[in-house]
Amino acid sequence: MRIISLNAWGGSVHAPLIDYLAHAEADVFCLQELIRSAPDTPEWLEYRDGGTRLAQRARLYDEIAAVLPDHDGYFSPFARGDLFHGEILFPSEFGIATFVRRSYPVIGQAADFIHGRFSPDGWGEHPRSRNAHCIRLFDYAGGFSVTIAQLHGLRDPAGKGDIPARHAQADALVELIERVWPGDERLVVCGDFNVLPDSVSFEKLGRLGLNDLVTSRGFTDTRTSLYPKEGRFADYMLVTPEVVVERFEVVEQPEVSDHRALLIELA
């Protein structure tokens, strides 16, 4: 089973991103920062927040679904706010999505907020709401079930250090996982955590038997050349001892976002 986790950056690197996802041959895609807008919305919109301006692909979720015809998609928005086309506003949903190859049946799942609640009329104040999605699949070929959880951790403008909201977020993530995961099978947790390697989040997840593959295997950078700032950790992939890791990669090329994809092949 091949799993890819990637912060898609709103599709800012659109053509390379779509090509990469179409040919990656992953069984499960755990994607963060996806946009979903009405069909008649212009292809490109702009996100504005103070001095931040970022191009966003308005129907990114639908475009990814179109190049993954053998997968079922699960979109989990955490807010609906306005994006700009010139000075015209277009309401759009922003969230995470999980795409699962149809040959792997989904035998359990839950999605919920791990910080805040759904915002239907704006992006909200920082740190903004965040959610997570947890699925349980059965692998017919391997004869086992596996639980996979993904999240996009809250962003604090002050940085990635631990704050009370991140402590509570980790507790909420553990609670969500325990709703789906029976405790005696393979478990994978991945996503853009928006925390540093010494975060209390890993201590809390460690109580489930999870160990991070990024830091434990010596990787020091999960960002691409498109990210100019210091602090190169953001994305993580954690597994329990039951997971046999046949391959793990922090993908350097192609660059399809300001985040690198994380790829695992497990048995």
pLDDT tens digit string along 36-75? 999 999 999 999 998 899 999 999 999 999 999 999 999 9
- Looking at the chain, the whole-number percentage of residues with pLDDT higher than 90 is 99
Q: Residue 129's pLDDT band (boundaries 50, 70, 90)?
A: very high
Q: What is the CATH number of the domain that holds 183?
A: 3.60.10.10
> Interior CA angle at 214 toward 185 and 202, to 5°?
65
Residue 177 has pLDDT above 90, yes or no: yes
Sheet with 245-250, strands from edge to edge, namely: 52-57, 44-49, 71-85, 88-101, 28-36, 2-7, 262-266, 245-250
CB-neighbour burial class of residue 217 (10 A; exposed 0-12, middle 13-18, buried 19+): exposed
**What is the number of domains present in the chain?**
1
- Predicted confidence (pLDDT) per residue in 183-233, tens digit: 999 999 999 999 999 999 999 999 999 999 999 999 999 999 999 999 899
Residues 6+ apart with CB under 8 A from 42: 58, 85, 90
Residue 12 has pLDDT above 90, yes or no: yes
- Predicted confidence (pLDDT) per residue in 101-118, tens digit: 999 999 999 999 999 999
Question: Looking at residue 119, what is its pLDDT?
Answer: 97
Its domain, for residue 240, covers 2-266
Which pair of tokens denotes residue 98?
A: 């999980």
